[in-house]
């Protein structure tokens, strides 16, 4: 990244707080360590990513169907899936201050990060990341349940339900989006590692003999998605995970890693999970080949996308300091931007301007395709409003001025036209109000 790396992270976090993308969680009570709340702009940006993912991978394909499953499942699911026994991270403790760390994330030969002590660390022991709670009025062992640490298992346990109702044939996928919970030993780096986070995943079921060609296909699709988020090629690395380092169920894994300001770490993952999960949950092969009548356990390819990490890399990529023009702007891909367009009456205290601007605002928000989120700003001077919209990544600003109204002395050719200003080039164009929605929609899809 061109800018100072630590700097960049701090600047993005500060902008997120200042402009209402992401706030520290429970802030008025002193916060809750490493929990974050998405504010108005962050919620919209996150929703745009989530919706586009669903459109692209579910709605626009006939080989994919959706599932919206419960967070709390029968604990037997986690027993069968192996999570209760093996969803662990290696935990070590500083012998001096007792701070706890993930053994694979520190250099145990170095002093403790928390107290700088040189007493060393305990031997690693397994720490289970499942978050427990209990259902019902009594807190006895029988009522213990877990908040799901991944969303995949619901897609496996519902495999027969989905198959029987959707009548899909291999290859086909089940997709899901939703919250997952992990009692991470060391959360941190803003929204990169939290104890609750959102996942977008699908399980793509294939004939066992064909899994590698589907794996390659989904890798290509993931690469395209990463590009469309605005991530520059030189910031992303596709890392094949070696034998012995993969999860026990995986025949092949590629980690999609991003060069964050705090180091190169996982953004997404692509795994071939073989028939491990379906075999865990179904005593009989759950799929019958319609041509051969053979009963089989399909193999599965799992592309896994962390939504919060998607938001983080999008913001890191988009943050731009334009020294020449003395401004900071988010060069977000237009489809990601929380607001697509902002509407300004030149002066807030001229009712005729405000009224006309309201008409333009209503015209834009009532587009039948429902693609336009529109901001309204009538405070301060127009220069400041541009600066403010640049900082949140709004691609276009529309100003209604005296020429729009055709007031005396103004150029009559400009009646019922507005100024449209482009976030990236800062260039302004005069556009007829009647043509404005089509103009903006065309620009957004460029």
Would you tell me which residues interact with ligand ATP (CB under 6 A)?
150, 182, 184, 193-194, 197, 199, 266-269, 304, 306, 308-309
Q: Where are the beta strands (DSSP E) in 208-366?
A: 236-240, 252-260, 263-274, 287-288, 295-296, 299-306, 319-322, 327-330, 341-345
The least CB distance from residue 268 to ligand ATP, in Å, is 5
The least CB distance from residue 133 to ligand ATP, in Å, is 18
The least CB distance from residue 338 to ligand ATP, in Å, is 21
Phi, psi for 264 (deg, rounded to 5) = -80, 115
3-class state of residue 255 by DSSP: strand
Phi, psi for 176 (deg, rounded to 5) = -150, 155
The least CB distance from residue 182 to ligand ATP, in Å, is 5
Radius of gyration of the chain from its Cα atoms, rounded to whole angstroms:
26
Strand partners, 238: 256
In the complex, which residue's CB is closest to ligand ATP? Answer: 306
Nearer residue to ligand ATP within complex by CB, 264 or 363: 264
Q: Tokens at residue 15, please?
A: 């902008």
With CA atoms as reference, report the closest residue to 370 among 437, 446, 439, 431.
437
How far is 335 from 49, CA to CA, in rounded Å?
Answer: 8
Count CB-CB contacts under 10 A for residue 32. Answer: 12
Nearer residue to ligand ATP within complex by CB, 150 or 228: 150
With a CB cutoff of 8 Å and minimum separation 6, the contacts of 137 are none
The least CB distance from residue 271 to ligand ATP, in Å, is 8
How far is 252 from 307, CA to CA, in rounded Å?
Answer: 23
Nearer residue to ligand ATP within complex by CB, 189 or 363: 189
With CA atoms as reference, report the closest residue to 278 among 245, 248, 249.
249
Nearer residue to ligand ATP within complex by CB, 36 or 159: 36
The least CB distance from residue 177 to ligand ATP, in Å, is 12
Nearer residue to ligand ATP within complex by CB, 188 or 208: 188
The least CB distance from residue 262 to ligand ATP, in Å, is 12
- Positive or negative, the CA dihedral 12, 14, 17, 19 is negative
CB-CB contact of 435 with 443 (8 Å): no
Nearer residue to ligand ATP within complex by CB, 188 or 290: 188
3-class state of residue 64 by DSSP: strand
Nearer residue to ligand ATP within complex by CB, 181 or 386: 181
How far is 166 from 66, CA to CA, in rounded Å?
Answer: 10
The least CB distance from residue 127 to ligand ATP, in Å, is 13
The least CB distance from residue 270 to ligand ATP, in Å, is 9
Nearer residue to ligand ATP within complex by CB, 64 or 152: 152
Nearer residue to ligand ATP within complex by CB, 121 or 192: 192
DSSP 8-state assignment for residue 416? T
Taking CA atoms, 406 is separated from 21, 208, 352, 429, 445, in Å, by: 39, 70, 11, 17, 31
Nearer residue to ligand ATP within complex by CB, 218 or 344: 218
The least CB distance from residue 194 to ligand ATP, in Å, is 4
Nearer residue to ligand ATP within complex by CB, 80 or 309: 309
CB-CB contact of 200 with 241 (8 Å): no
DSSP 8-state assignment for residue 31? -
How far is 128 from 70, CA to CA, in rounded Å?
Answer: 21
Nearer residue to ligand ATP within complex by CB, 308 or 377: 308
3-class state of residue 164 by DSSP: helix
The least CB distance from residue 308 to ligand ATP, in Å, is 5
Q: Tokens at residue 107, please?
A: 């250099």
With CA atoms as reference, report the closest residue to 78 among 69, 87, 70, 91.
87
The least CB distance from residue 309 to ligand ATP, in Å, is 4
């Amino acid at each position: 990244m061109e800018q100072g790396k630590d700097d960049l992270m701090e600047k993005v976090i500060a902008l997120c707080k200042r402009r209402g993308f992401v706030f520290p969680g429970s802030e008025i009570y002193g916060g809750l360590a490493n929990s974050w709340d998405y504010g108005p702009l962050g919620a919209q940006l996150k929703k745009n990513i989530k919706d586009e993912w669903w459109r692209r991978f579910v709605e626009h394909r006939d080989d994919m169907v959706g599932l919206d499953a419960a967070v709390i499942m029968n604990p037997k699911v986690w027993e069968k899936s192996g999570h209760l026994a093996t969803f662990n991270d290696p935990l070590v403790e500083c012998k001096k201050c007792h701070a706890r760390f993930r053994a694979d994330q520190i250099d145990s030969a170095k002093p403790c990060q928390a107290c700088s002590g040189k007493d060393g660390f305990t031997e690693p022991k397994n720490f289970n990341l499942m978050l427990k709670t209990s259902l019902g009025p009594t807190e006895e062992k029988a009522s213990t349940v877990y908040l799901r640490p991944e969303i995949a298992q619901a897609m496996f346990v519902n495999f027969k339900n989905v198959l029987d109702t959707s009548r899909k044939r291999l290859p086909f996928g089940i997709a899901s989006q939703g919250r997952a919970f992990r009692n991470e030993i060391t959360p941190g780096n803003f929204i990169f590692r939290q104890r609750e986070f959102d996942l977008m995943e699908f399980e793509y079921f294939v004939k066992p003999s064909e899994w590698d060609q589907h794996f390659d296909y989904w890798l290509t699709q993931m690469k395209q998605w990463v590009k469309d988020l605005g991530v520059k090629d030189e910031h992303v690395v596709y890392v094949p995970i070696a034998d012995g380092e993969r999860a026990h169920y995986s025949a092949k894994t590629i980690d999609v890693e991003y060069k964050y300001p705090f180091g190169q770490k996982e953004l997404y993952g692509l795994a071939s999970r073989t028939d491990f999960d379906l075999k865990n949950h179904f005593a009989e092969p759950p799929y019958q080949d319609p041509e051969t009548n053979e009963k089989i356990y399909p193999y599965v390819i799992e592309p896994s996308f962390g939504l919060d990490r998607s938001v983080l890399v999008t913001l890191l990529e988009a943050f731009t300091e334009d020294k020449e023009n003395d401004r900071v702007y988010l060069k977000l891909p237009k489809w990601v931007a929380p607001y697509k367009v902002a509407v300004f009456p030149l002066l807030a205290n001229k009712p005729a301007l405000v009224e006309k601007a309201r008409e333009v605002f209503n015209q834009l928000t009532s587009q039948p395709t429902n693609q336009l989120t529109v901001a309204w700003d009538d405070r301060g001077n127009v220069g400041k409003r541009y600066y403010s919209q640049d900082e949140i990544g709004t691609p276009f600003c529309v100003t209604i001025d005296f020429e729009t109204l055709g007031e005396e002395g103004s150029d009559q050719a400009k009646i019922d036209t507005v100024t449209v200003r482009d976030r990236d080039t800062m260039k302004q164009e005069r556009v007829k109000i009647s043509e404005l929605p089509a103009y903006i929609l065309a620009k957004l899809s460029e």
